[in-house]
A and B are shown apart, each in its own frame.
Chain A
């Protein structure tokens, strides 16, 4: 998809790979894989709990479809795959 208006500069591929990889790894560390020391939640877990609270799915209300929760989380908070949200939800609900 080249176009005349595109501005191209040459860069060393090793530099690009390095910065890109560091950016990627920091993103994984901070916003995916590691829990926050304060509330012990990873972003996706926090988003599920917060979304469920906003939906009013609290413990003294009737159960509601997981599909709704997954949809809500995907729609407003977590722009990733549905399986990652549902798997996390299942894990939060399991004992053992």
Chain B
């Protein structure tokens, strides 16, 4: 009940679902709203029928001064049909009813602007306006009601979610039980504690573990529990004793029609009464005018009947008038009382006039209905409790997966996994490193597996997987199985449904496929190709062609550029070439590209990087010796790596005998991850590696390698906010 019809006293149950006390313990009385529904019932406004034993009568309908059906709603299951009407806000209903009265041509669309939607006594938020529109127009529609929650920060810095409003008809204690069950089932493993602190107001507290995203938990509650509930509206009611599904306009018209009936009948009743009284008063007036004669006649009469008959005969009075005159008391013959009768008669005639005009004028009748409706509603109207939000749509994976940083690794044998970034410890340069991945024992005999790709990403990002043959598969990061640092992961071939001869060459992580960004692709033979990233937006599960690869060549790197970047290509022999990307025109997706670097025989491109003046180029050899050089000399502002045009041989980037393992464009505060073929990994700060301005130099030891070990590659680690927070606090 949005508007209580009965005032309770005692235990009438609660939203927790506990039952009310037995009727010998509880008390009640009608509420003010009920008086509005029952008002004027004794003025012949409605039909009465005998009760079941014909000892008394009962009304077939109440006069009902308020649009009660829509105010409080109704539910019922009959045979073959059900009704489910939500409660509405009285204020809106009154305005809508008045609109229908004022403008009979008002459409459902006009009413929609006034009636915003259901208004549940329990509050909540209705998600999406389509369902509301539908049921207002057709009488049938489904709306989704959500509870209301907010977050509070606790003293220890953790966050807690507080549920303050639940959807209509949701049992609070079973909701809490359900949440608890979801916590034990690991569906809600972000939750550290759950308490129901409700008194007369709902307050369910869900404490979160450190650094968990409350939004994700709330979305999970919407998805998995009754915290979001659907309400299937069916506006079915009895119209002239026949069930009928109606839209909002028809229902309000029923009400207006009913009121018209009630007010007309009441006016007729009052008119009849007034006329009766007027008739009697007319008799009094005659009697008072001829008082002495009347007294004489009465005194002369032997009994009451004789007096009556004589009076009727002499003055042409009706029997009722004569009886009333005989019933007069003596004091009523005083002068003052005579004036009173005169005044009452005048008043009565005015009333009769008024009542007749109501009956004869439709306009007056409707104005009266409107006035009475507003008067009756005035005491009960209040602000809406339920809010309506326009936002529509089912929850997508993005809503229930936290957008958090993670490290995605792909091994040489093609195992992929993602690991929360916090699991990687920060170590000093020169350490031995923590185990990056447990490698396949079966494969370790001759051709051991090793980590081939590693990068950080957010779980909501897209990853474009570029195969060595130029195919591209796109997948969301959260689709990759989360695993701890030491586990091996899932087969990438299974995740992406790869073809047999395909091997992963490069991955690009983007949050969206917006215009103005380009993918720069580079093959081992020195070919380079540039394509707008938006061309990759319509990806398919089976992959799309990213670049056309010539026979014997393979894709080695793909980078994201903004259209005004410079790129550097570094070959295995330590050569490098730097050119502006405008040298490479943007092409379609299914193209080969142009020559980027001319290589010596046996040499191949090892890496391609985008030049960032704020960054330095880190080149590390297979022996773990590396160097860091600025792209442009900090003093002379001259480029250390000279700008050339594409297609040249390039210049020496590092003097190395064993060959380059990898190259990276890094910032001073960056950290890099170095990986060996044996699966050892080390994470080190870039600032720990000395920066040298010379181009043709050997560099310093970046990682100490065991015998037989070789550095496989390097990768940048992006620090997440979470990690920085942890780093700021002293470790306990």
Listed in ascending order, the chain A residues whose CB lies under 8 Å from chain B are 24-25, 28-30, 32-42, 45-50, 52-53, 57-59, 61-67, 69-70, 76-77, 79, 82, 86, 89-96
Pairwise interchain contact B52-A35, C-beta atoms closer than 8 A: no
A-B contact pairs, 6 of them (CB 8 A): A25-B80, A33-B76, A38-B64, A89-B23, A91-B1, A94-B13
Q: What CA separation (Å) do A51 and B463 show in the bound complex?
A: 71
Pick the 3 closest A-B CB pairs, nearest first.
A40-B69, A25-B79, A38-B258
A interface: dominant SS: helix
On chain B, the residues within 8 Å of A50 by CB distance are: 38, 41, 58-59, 62
Q: Apart from A53-B41, A92-B4, what are 15 other A-B pairs with CB-CB below 8 Å?
A: A29-B81, A32-B76, A34-B236, A34-B237, A39-B37, A40-B72, A42-B76, A53-B38, A58-B29, A59-B34, A66-B26, A66-B28, A93-B5, A95-B121, A96-B121
Pairwise interchain contact B238-A37, C-beta atoms closer than 8 A: yes
Pairwise interchain contact B2-A95, C-beta atoms closer than 8 A: yes
Instruction: Give the distance to chain A from B334, nearest Cβ to Cβ, in Å.
Output: 37
B359 in contact (CB, < 8 A): no
Contact with A94, one of B1, B51, B83 (Cβ below 8 angstroms): B1
Q: What CA separation (Å) do A79 and B52 show in the bound complex?
A: 7
Q: Most B CB atoms within 10 A — which of A52, A69, A93? A: A93
**Segment at the interface with A among B145-153, B240-248, B684-692:** B240-248
Pairwise interchain contact A41-B29, C-beta atoms closer than 8 A: no
B70 in contact (CB, < 8 A): yes
Q: What CA separation (Å) do A66 and B64 show in the bound complex?
A: 23
Q: Which residue of A lies closest to B261 (CB)?
A: A38
Pairwise interchain contact B23-A65, C-beta atoms closer than 8 A: yes
Contact with A86, one of B23, B32, B254 (Cβ below 8 angstroms): B23
B31 in contact (CB, < 8 A): yes
Instruction: Give the distance to chain A from B18, nearest Cβ to Cβ, in Å.
Output: 12
Q: Most B CB atoms within 10 A — which of A41, A48, A67? A: A41
Instruction: Give the distance to chain B from A50, nearest Cβ to Cβ, in Å.
Output: 6
On chain B, the residues within 8 Å of A66 by CB distance are: 23-24, 26-28
B683 in contact (CB, < 8 A): no
B12 in contact (CB, < 8 A): yes
Q: What CA separation (Å) do A74 and B120 show in the bound complex?
A: 31
Q: Most B CB atoms within 10 A — which of A49, A58, A62? A: A49
Pairwise interchain contact A36-B27, C-beta atoms closer than 8 A: no
Pairwise interchain contact A96-B69, C-beta atoms closer than 8 A: no
B78 in contact (CB, < 8 A): yes
On chain B, the residues within 8 Å of A89 by CB distance are: 6, 23, 28
Instruction: Give the distance to chain B from A90, nearest Cβ to Cβ, in Å.
Output: 5
Contact with B30, one of A49, A62, A94 (Cβ below 8 angstroms): A49
B503 in contact (CB, < 8 A): no
Instruction: Give the distance to chain B from A72, nearest Cβ to Cβ, in Å.
Output: 11
Pairwise interchain contact A35-B246, C-beta atoms closer than 8 A: no
On chain B, the residues within 8 Å of A35 by CB distance are: 69, 74, 76, 83, 85, 237-238
On chain A, the residues within 8 Å of B63 by CB distance are: 39
B398 in contact (CB, < 8 A): no
Listed in ascending order, the chain B residues whose CB lies under 8 Å from chain A are 1-2, 4-9, 12-13, 15, 20, 23-24, 26-32, 34-35, 37-38, 41, 51-53, 55-56, 58-59, 61-64, 67-72, 74, 76-81, 83, 85, 120-122, 168, 236-239, 241, 243-244, 246, 251, 254-255, 257-258
Pairwise interchain contact A38-B254, C-beta atoms closer than 8 A: yes
On chain B, the residues within 8 Å of A79 by CB distance are: 52-53
Q: Which residue of B lies closest to A32 (CB)?
A: B78
Pairwise interchain contact B237-A36, C-beta atoms closer than 8 A: yes
Pairwise interchain contact B68-A63, C-beta atoms closer than 8 A: no
Known: A32-B78, A58-B35, A93-B12. A37 touches B251 (CB 8 A): yes
Pairwise interchain contact A67-B24, C-beta atoms closer than 8 A: yes
Instruction: Give the distance to chain A from B221, nearest Cβ to Cβ, in Å.
Output: 20
Pairwise interchain contact A63-B254, C-beta atoms closer than 8 A: no
Contact with A90, one of B9, B13, B27, B76 (Cβ below 8 angstroms): B13
Pairwise interchain contact A61-B76, C-beta atoms closer than 8 A: no
Q: Most A CB atoms within 10 A — which of B1, B24, B28, B83? A: B28
Pairwise interchain contact B78-A34, C-beta atoms closer than 8 A: yes
On chain A, the residues within 8 Å of B15 by CB distance are: 96
Q: What CA separation (Å) do A79 and B50 show in the bound complex?
A: 13
Pairwise interchain contact A49-B37, C-beta atoms closer than 8 A: yes
Q: Most A CB atoms within 10 A — which of B23, B27, B32, B61? A: B23
On chain A, the residues within 8 Å of B243 by CB distance are: 29, 34
Contact with B61, one of A38, A76, A94 (Cβ below 8 angstroms): A38
Pairwise interchain contact A59-B70, C-beta atoms closer than 8 A: no
Q: What CA separation (Å) do A49 and B69 show in the bound complex?
A: 15
Instruction: Give the distance to chain A from B266, nearest Cβ to Cβ, in Å.
Output: 15
Known: A28-B78, A77-B51, A79-B52. A34 touches B30 (CB 8 A): no
